Structure 1
């Protein structure tokens, strides 16, 4: 590998404080739906759920921390959130 190639960071599982940031359209019930989807796959630390709106109020960012158990779990969370139609990005 050359200096210009970047390796994806290796995630150690289980990770009891794995951060997820979800960027979605602002809308009534969107936060609840996001939390419902994530709870189907993982335990959420409800003390570490933050919500912020964009300057113009069009988008909402929800940052939460979960217990991550494996790569498949993270893939499933990402896929189901993106399938909602109102989630634009999962980081």
Structure 2
């Protein structure tokens, strides 16, 4: 069994992808959480993609990850919303 790769912190360009219900609420949630837990992330690199039928969206951001605690906190904050389906 192969071990997952170790992340060295700080880790620039760390991607976080959130899948959820389409609409402004998901995007706002992601921006609010990133502003709080990854201040200074590059909003220009944020991508939003709609699903084929337009019911769902994915929002991808790139942050400088500073540690496991930060990543766990971000994932918990994003998963706490009912509009969020999956966080990668």
**What TM-score comes out, normalization by structure 1 length?**
0.88
For residue 73 of structure 1, the aligned residue among 70, 73, 82 is 70
Q: Does 1:7 align with 2:11?
A: no
Aligned length: 87
Gaps of 5+ in 2: none
Q: Does 1:83 align with 2:85?
A: no
CA-CA distance at 1:12 after TM superposition: 0.9
Larger Rg computed on CA atoms: 1
Does the Cα contact within 8 Å between 2:12 and 2:65 map onto a contact in 1? yes
Structure-1 residue corresponding to 2:16: 20
